[in-house]
A and B are shown apart, each in its own frame.
Chain A
């Protein structure tokens, strides 16, 4: 299946690999189908664990997804049995859990949304943005120390600067 994207141009993906959202990403109500693509690559070809979630229906709409446990090892998602059923999952272990990464021009403001993760059942190719009921996961979880220098699009932010 071939579709247009603003960032990558026209791309081809296996139609079987397209993910369908059972509940939309909040604010993107009309978009239900997305492709999971490899994340940004550095100038010298390094890859990352971050992945792109590209809409197949809106060329300009893409999100960056990260593994929340890489910055918050104790992160846990608790879904209701109805939500698991909605995703065709027998248990939480069947799901891949990602959080949305926000990379503003000021890299000290890099953050991820722990309150509303993107949960994907890779077998069924079903996903949703869950809204967790617990109160201690912020919508804006900042990844860098507030004391980190405020460089615009800094070239070198070492992983050691990632908090925790």
Chain B
């Protein structure tokens, strides 16, 4: 992992079109500003992780070993 030290209002560039700027530092929190092309999705890591965990649950629940799914038509009738 590349480690860089930055002060408030300093930034780093990732490639030529992504900038990550330290906007504010206080109370053990860092406020970051991100400038990136629109096609680059930026999400909090914990959101991404939670979606990954829920996707794994969705696949597991749909797995062959999961319980009988024959009442799904009752829950979601056509």
Contacts and interface: CB of A to CB of B under 8 A. Distances in A.
Nearest to B67: A153
B27 interface: no
Contacts of B47: 115, 131, 139
B51 A139 contact: yes
Contacts of B39: 80, 82-83, 86
Contact of A156 (B48, B59, B71): B71
A26 B78 contact: no
Interface in A88-145: 100-105, 107, 110, 113, 115-116, 129, 131, 139-140, 143
Given A66-B76, A110-B75, A102 B70 contact: no
B38 A103 contact: no
Secondary structure type dominating chain A contacts: loop
Interface in A1-54: 6-7, 25-28, 39-43, 46-50, 52
B41 to A, nearest CB: 6
B2 interface: no
Contacts of B38: 80-82
Contact of B64 (A60, A139, A155): A60
A147 interface: no
Contact of B72 (A50, A102, A140): A50
6 contacts: A6-B64, A28-B59, A39-B76, A80-B38, A129-B51, A159-B74
Interface of A: 6-7, 25-28, 39-43, 46-50, 52, 60-64, 66, 70, 80-83, 86, 100-105, 107, 110, 113, 115-116, 129, 131, 139-140, 143, 152-159, 162
